[in-house]
Amino acid sequence: MLHRRRGDGTTVLAVVALLFALCGQNEAASNPRYIAMGNLQTVIHGETLFSTDIGEDRQTTGFLWCQVREGTIHYKPTWARFVRIRDSKQFIADIGQDNKAYLHFGKSKAEAAGKYRCEVKVPDSSIITGNMFAYSHPVVKNNESWPLKRSEVEPSTAVGPAVYASLESTARIPCPIIGYPEPQIVWFKDNIPLEIEGRVSFDKVNGVLSIEQITEEDGGRYRCKGTNQYPTVIDGPESFFEVNLDQELKIGDGYGWMLPLAIILIILILLFIIIFTCQRCAKYKADQYNVAERERALHNDQVPLKNSV
Ligand SMILES: *[C@@H]1O[C@H](CO)[C@@H](O)[C@H](O)[C@H]1NC(C)=O
């Protein structure tokens, strides 16, 4: 069932009957006269590339609304809420003058994206429910201890700090890309698709790539690409979205400053050895001189003896 009316010329405000899963409890299950209507979807556009937890200058997102109808009658809900399916988080709806139950997203982040269930209670205590969608393109979820930069060459690419791993250890490269529908993640190493097998595994839940038994050859530039697709207007064509995250894997312990320090230490040790050896040298020469002197003295003493033979 699909009702539609044209808005102000450019926007199509589609009013869609929700796929109605009539709630099991109460009479509603046996009473299919109610229909839940709603705007079915909204698109969260608070962030472009990565989470702006740090800065609050996000764009404002619209809202979801739903309403219970019986024929042409709109019921004023006695109570309404929205439940985010992913984490069962509940949001009390705002009931408008128009008898619609609203969920306002305001300056929401991509984290608010997902499937929502609207639950509306009507005068006879039936609870009518319907599913709605808050879409978001893929966004890299960052935080203060893991700052990201925007790539200067590619608009849809974020650049993370280098990851360090020592030989033989396990490298862990994060890729916390969120969005709804859940983004598909693929990996590249130095622009070549990375096989997720053997020593290399990807934990989708935590968004971490693990590479065991690190060798020198594992070093390089790793990219994870997150993609998803959804219609930006109801019943419109699907649009494709992507975000890339580039990180350099460096083989070493991350103590780059230790190399110059080691060089200075080695120079100091060498200097010390040179000075010490020179002192020894001088002393040895002195000893040699003494020996020569003594030898000469001895030799002088021996001359008469030799001559006398
Ligand atoms: C910040 O994000 C990184 C990458 O996902 C993660 O490894 C780290 O645990 C996060 N830190 C905090 C404090 O949440």
Reported as a pLDDT band with limits 50, 70 and 90, residue 122 is confident
CA of 120 to the centre of ligand 1 (A): 38
pLDDT tens per residue, range 175-199: 999 999 999 999 999 999 999 999 9
Rounded-to-integer distance, Cα 77 and Cα 68, Å: 8
- The minimum-distance atom of ligand 1 relative to the CA of 176 is 5
Is pLDDT at 5 greater than 50 in this prediction? Answer: no
For 261, the enclosing helix (H) or strand (E) is helix 258-308
> Residues with Cβ within 6 A of ligand 1?
143, 145-146, 174, 176
Q: Pick 173 or 127 by higher pLDDT.
A: 173
Asked whether residue 143 is assigned to any structural domain, the reply reads no
Q: Are residues 178 and 108 in the same domain?
A: no
CA-to-CA distance for 268 and 274, rounded, in angstroms? Answer: 10
Ligand 1 atom nearest 160 alpha carbon: 4
18-70 pLDDT, tens digit each: 433 333 333 344 456 788 889 999 999 878 888 866 566 778 888 999 998 88
Residue 106 has pLDDT above 60, yes or no: yes
Q: What is the pLDDT of residue 11?
A: 33
Same-domain pairing of 114 and 154? no
The reported pLDDT for the residue numbered 218 is 96
Q: How far is the CA of 239 from the centre of ligand 1 (A)?
A: 30
- Beta-carbon contacts of 257 under 8 Å, excluding residues fewer than 6 positions away, are none
- Computed over every residue of the chain, the mean pLDDT equals 83
Ligand 1 atom with least separation from CA of 208: 5
Burial class (CB in 10 A: 0-12, 13-18, 19+), 207: buried
206 and 104 inside one domain: no
Q: What is this structure's pTM?
A: 0.72
Range of the domain at 268: 262-309
Probe residue for ligand 1, chosen from 51, 54, 145, 172 as the CB with the greatest number of ligand atoms within 8 Å: 145
Percent with pLDDT over 90 in the chain: 57
Give the pLDDT of residue 252.
Answer: 81
Q: Which of 108, 135, 162 is the last residue of a domain?
A: 135
Q: Return the ligand 1 atom nearest residue 143 CA.
A: 1
In a domain, residue 144? The reply is no
Q: Are residues 7 and 116 in the same domain?
A: yes
Confirm whether 141 is domain-assigned: no
- List the residue whose alpha carbon is closest to atom 7 of ligand 1: 174
Determine the residue type at 196.
Answer: I
Do residue 164 and residue 191 come from a single domain?
A: yes
Are 177 and 236 contained in the same domain?
A: yes
> CA 184, 233, 176: angle at the middle one, nearest 5?
25
Nearest CA to ligand 1 atom 4: 174
Decide if 257 is inside a domain.
no
Task: State the burial class of residue 40 (Cβ atoms within 10 Å of its Cβ: 0-12, 13-18, 19+).
Answer: buried
pLDDT at 273 (0 to 100): 92
Among 232, 251, 270, give the residue marking a domain's end.
251
> Shortest CA distance to 250 belongs to which of 146, 149, 165?
165
How far, in Å, is the centroid of ligand 1 from the Cα of 146? 6
Would 280 be classed as within a structural domain? yes
Q: How many Å apart are CA 203 and CA 224, to the nearest integer?
A: 13
Q: What is the pLDDT of residue 15?
A: 40
Tell how far the Cα of 58 is from the centroid of ligand 1, in angstroms: 21
Number of domains in the chain: 3
Nearest to 226, CA basis, from 50, 45, 42: 50
- Within this chain, do residues 266 and 247 fall inside the same structural domain, yes or no? no
